[in-house]
């Protein structure tokens, strides 16, 4: 082997090492620490909102059991544009203002029936907003909270295994499964 071949071989090996190191770094999980954007009390607030949307029932735990608030914080920090992040963050004060206007209390101080009534009114408001908004206008803050609550819950272990029917080792595909009214939907793996 001459000098050029040796240098080329070393460069190739070093390049492979650098590429492998970059690949390994990109495959590690990101930190769940969202303190740069969210305060702990905001995550608790999001858990309360999500738990009102998906409360505990006789057959399954609610969204708070799946810690959906933390999921929402990570998704907003990592996946939302700065404009959508701003809308979402402003939603905290808007939701509390709506609660204060209707009940003279913060959302977290409301009883479950009041929370449900308030969120039902906000859901109607966001549907109207979606119907009339311009194509480039941001979504309503409550729509974002509701979508993330559903996504976080049904993609969590709690939601997938306790709220949905879950088969960890599915058999063959059967497109015509019997269904009785009230049966839970199937989780996908």
Is the pLDDT at 24 greater than 60? The verdict is no
Q: Does residue 106 sit within a domain? A: yes
Q: Does residue 188 sit within a domain? A: no
CB 136 within 8 A of CB 156: no
Q: Does residue 112 sit within a domain? A: yes
Is the pLDDT at 175 greater than 80? The verdict is no
Name 168's Cβ contacts closer than 8 Å, sequence gap at least 6: 189
Using pLDDT thresholds of 50, 70 and 90, give the confidence band for residue 185: confident
Domains: count for the chain:
1
Task: Supply the pLDDT for residue 8.
Answer: 64
Its domain, for residue 154, covers 40-163
Task: Supply the pLDDT for residue 21.
Answer: 47
Is the pLDDT at 36 greater than 90? The verdict is no
For the segment 39-92, what is each residue's pLDDT rounded down to a tens digit?
999 999 999 999 999 999 998 999 999 999 999 999 999 999 999 999 999 999
Q: Does residue 187 sit within a domain? A: no
Give the residue from 83, 72, 70, 88 showing the smallest Cα distance to 33: 70
For the segment 128-139, what is each residue's pLDDT rounded down to a tens digit?
999 999 988 999
| Mean pLDDT on 107-113 | 95
Q: Does residue 180 sit within a domain? A: no
75 CB burial (10 A radius; 0-12, 13-18, 19+): middle
Task: Supply the pLDDT for residue 164.
Answer: 83
Q: Does residue 64 sit within a domain? A: yes
Q: Does residue 75 sit within a domain? A: yes
Distances (CA, A) of 10 to 1, 2, 13, 16, 17: 12, 12, 5, 10, 10
Q: Does residue 35 sit within a domain? A: no
């Amino acid at each position: 082997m001459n000098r050029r071949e040796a240098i080329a071989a070393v460069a190739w090996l070093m390049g492979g090492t650098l590429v492998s190191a970059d690949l390994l770094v990109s495959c590690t999980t990101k930190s769940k620490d969202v303190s740069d954007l969210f305060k702990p009390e905001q995550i608790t607030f999001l858990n309360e909102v999500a738990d009102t949307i998906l409360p505990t029932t006789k057959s399954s735990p609610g969204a708070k059991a799946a810690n959906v608030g933390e999921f929402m914080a990570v998704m907003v920090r990592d996946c939302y544009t700065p404009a959508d992040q701003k809308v979402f963050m402003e939603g905290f004060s808007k939701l509390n203002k709506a609660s204060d206007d209707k009940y003279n209390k913060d959302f977290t101080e409301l009883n479950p029936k009041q929370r449900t009534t308030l969120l039902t009114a906000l859901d109607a408001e966001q549907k109207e907003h979606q119907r009339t908004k311009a194509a480039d206008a941001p979504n309503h803050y409550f729509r974002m909270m509701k979508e993330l609550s559903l996504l976080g819950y049904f993609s969590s272990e709690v939601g997938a295994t306790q709220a949905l029917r879950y088969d960890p080792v599915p058999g063959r595909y059967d497109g015509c499964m019997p269904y009785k009214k009230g049966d839970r939907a199937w989780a996908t793996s």
